[in-house]
């Protein structure tokens, strides 16, 4: 086990203290295994969806579900008995899920079968948060294709995904799934159609800001990746960055987005890595990492430990990234005010999203407050101020026609809406497919 992985585990345990304190003192969780058969509805076209879940006893409220998916017609329910995976999920306060499935196409109803299984396990375990659980997917071959298809179908529910060496991933536009961190593995001597399939998806979406990694497994064919240090580092990092500090057992989990400039990048030819600000090759074709540590494990894996080069640059010469959640500009001041949990302003939605031509941005104020609502680009630069100044309590819906401050149309890509009010900050991402 690497030092970095242990560091992540310790960090996750510390960030869960608030969840433990919020849990009912009368609730005594017990480690247990549950089974569920998600029988198809009349409109479903799948036939088999058998699930088994391990619920750890490390915390009263679990933070997510680790879904381990095997190749076609292969049963992964055995994973709930795996000591190493139980330890990983227990330390992270995750449930562990395995399944036997016969379909990877969400229009067959198989995605809804997963959600029904979570609801059933919530009832069986008397842990209601499982019904709303965010999901981390690790799939191999057909199972990797399932993981990717589920992410495309329901990106708001997925913390992150791993897909290993499948050859029939859906190659159509990924939509909002580009904002879900993903690790894509191909084998150097695997069949060409498998390499082409996943490489093509990666190369089509990275220029749009996909938070994805592509890793070539050297001298390997279609075998499964078993480097748990590599896989666990990624899981622990993504979970820490994406999940909120506390989980409400009765509410859907709202996952955090990771801005692209916060990450690191890796050159798929030279295996050199560098921070987003310092990286000087084509960012649109580089693997994207949520942290330096993840980039280093990728570098070791793809180069067999032969490369450790890191791009070095002068931070003073790098343009300020001005990330939306770390604003460097002057904002309305609220010194001397107090903030109650019930008085937090929130963004309520961006519809439609992805955006073609225009969208409506909604926000809610529980009381009269001074607000700053603006759109930022992927580098954190303010593109358009939508509202600034005092506002009465209520629901607001503002139309934005994809124009900048000077009225010109913006370019397509990933953008972020930020609402600052009463010392609270709410951020949502959006994808602009066409400005007109």
366 contacts: CB under 8 Å, gap ≥ 6: 342, 343, 344, 345, 393
Q: What is each CA distance from 118 to 51, 65, 112, in whole angstroms?
A: 9, 9, 10
* Whole-number Å distance between alpha carbons of 269 and 287: 11
Task: Flag whether pLDDT at 390 surpasses 60.
Answer: yes
Q: Taking residues 12-40, what's their average pLDDT?
A: 63
Q: Taking residues 356-382, what's their average pLDDT?
A: 86
* Whole-number Å distance between alpha carbons of 421 and 370: 6
294 contacts: CB under 8 Å, gap ≥ 6: 213, 233, 234, 237, 264
Per-residue model confidence as pLDDT tens digits over 247-306: 999 999 999 988 888 899 999 999 999 999 899 999 999 999 999 999 999 999 999 999
10 contacts: CB under 8 Å, gap ≥ 6: none
* Whole-number Å distance between alpha carbons of 55 and 62: 8
Using a cut of 0.75, tell me whether the model's pTM lies above it.
Answer: no
Per-residue model confidence as pLDDT tens digits over 76-102: 999 999 999 999 999 999 999 999 999
* Whole-number Å distance between alpha carbons of 95 and 64: 6
CATH of domain 341-434: 2.60.40.4070
| Residue 407 DSSP symbol | S
Q: Would you list the domain boundaries of the chain? A: 3-258, 341-434
Which residue has better confidence, 262 or 7?
262
Give the model's confidence band at 25: pLDDT under 50 very low, under 70 low, under 90 confident, else very high: very low
Q: Taking residues 357-375, what's their average pLDDT?
A: 88
Q: Taking residues 388-416, what's their average pLDDT?
A: 89
Q: Taking residues 182-210, what's their average pLDDT?
A: 96
Query: Are 3-258 and 341-434 in the same CATH fold?
Result: no
Per-residue model confidence as pLDDT tens digits over 110-128: 999 999 999 999 999 999 9
Q: What is the mean pLDDT of the chain?
A: 87
CATH of domain 3-258: 3.40.50.1820
Cβ atoms within 10 Å of 303's Cβ, excluding its own:
16
DSSP 3-state assignment of 4?
A: helix
Per-residue model confidence as pLDDT tens digits over 136-190: 999 999 999 999 999 999 999 999 999 999 999 999 999 989 999 999 999 999 9
Extended beta strands in 284-423, E state? 287-289, 346-356, 358-365, 369-377, 382-391, 394-400, 413-421
Cβ atoms within 10 Å of 9's Cβ, excluding its own:
19
Q: Taking residues 13-21, what's their average pLDDT?
A: 45
Task: Flag whether pLDDT at 415 surpasses 60.
Answer: yes
Q: Is the Cα dihedral 175, 176, 178, 180 positive or negative?
A: negative
Considering the chain, what percentage of its residues have pLDDT values greater than 90?
Answer: 66
Task: Flag whether pLDDT at 58 surpasses 80.
Answer: yes
Say if residues 56 and 83 touch (Cβ distance below 8 Å): no
**CA angle at 180 for the pair 71 and 10, rounded to the nearest 5°:** 90
């Amino acid at each position: 086990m690497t030092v970095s992985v242990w560091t992540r585990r310790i960090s996750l345990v510390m960030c869960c203290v608030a969840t433990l304190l919020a849990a009912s003192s009368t609730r005594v969780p017990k480690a247990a295994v549950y089974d569920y058969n998600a029988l198809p509805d009349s409109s479903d076209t799948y036939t088999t969806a058998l699930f088994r879940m391990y619920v750890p006893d490390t915390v009263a409220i679990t933070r997510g579900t680790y879904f381990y998916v095997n190749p076609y017609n292969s049963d992964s329910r055995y994973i709930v008995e795996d000591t190493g995976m139980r330890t990983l999920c227990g330390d992270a306060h995750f449930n562990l899920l395995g399944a036997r499935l016969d379909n990877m196409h969400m229009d067959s109803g198989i995605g809804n079968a997963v959600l029904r299984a979570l609801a059933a396990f919530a009832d069986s375990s008397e842990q209601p948060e499982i019904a709303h659980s965010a999901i981390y997917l690790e799939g191999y071959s057909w199972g990797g294709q399932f993981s990717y298809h589920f992410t495309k179908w329901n990106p708001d529910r997925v913390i992150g995904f791993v897909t290993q060496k499948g050859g029939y991933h859906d190659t159509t536009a990924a939509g909002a799934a580009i904002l879900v961190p993903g690790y894509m593995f191909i084998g150097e001597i695997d069949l060409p159609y498998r390499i082409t399939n996943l490489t093509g998806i990666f190369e089509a979406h990275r220029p749009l800001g996909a938070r994805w990694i592509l890793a070539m497994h050297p001298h390997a064919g279609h075998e499964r990746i078993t480097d748990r240090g590599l896989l666990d580092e990624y899981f622990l990092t993504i979970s820490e960055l994406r999940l909120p500090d506390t989980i409400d057992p009765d509410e859907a989990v709202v996952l955090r987005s990771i801005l692209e400039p916060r990450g690191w990048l890796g050159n798929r030819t030279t295996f050199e890595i560098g921070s987003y600000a310092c990286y000087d090759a084509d960012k649109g074709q580089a693997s994207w990492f949520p942290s330096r540590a993840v980039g280093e494990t990728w570098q070791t894996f793809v180069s067999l430990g032969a490369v450790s080069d890191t791009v070095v640059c002068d931070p003073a010469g790098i343009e300020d990234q001005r990330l939306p959640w770390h604003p460097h500009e002057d904002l309305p001041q609220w010194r001397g005010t107090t903030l109650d949990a019930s008085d937090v302003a929130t963004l309520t939605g961006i519809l439609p999203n992805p955006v073609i031509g225009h969208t409506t941005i909604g926000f809610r104020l529980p009381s009269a407050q001074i607000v700053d609502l603006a759109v930022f680009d992927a580098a954190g630069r303010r593109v358009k101020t939508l509202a600034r100044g005092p506002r009465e309590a209520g629901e607001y819906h503002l139309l934005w026609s994809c124009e900048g401050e000077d009225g010109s149309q913006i370019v397509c890509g990933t953008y972020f809406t930020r609402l600052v009010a009463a010392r609270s900050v709410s951020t949502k991402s959006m994808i602009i497919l066409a400005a007109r």
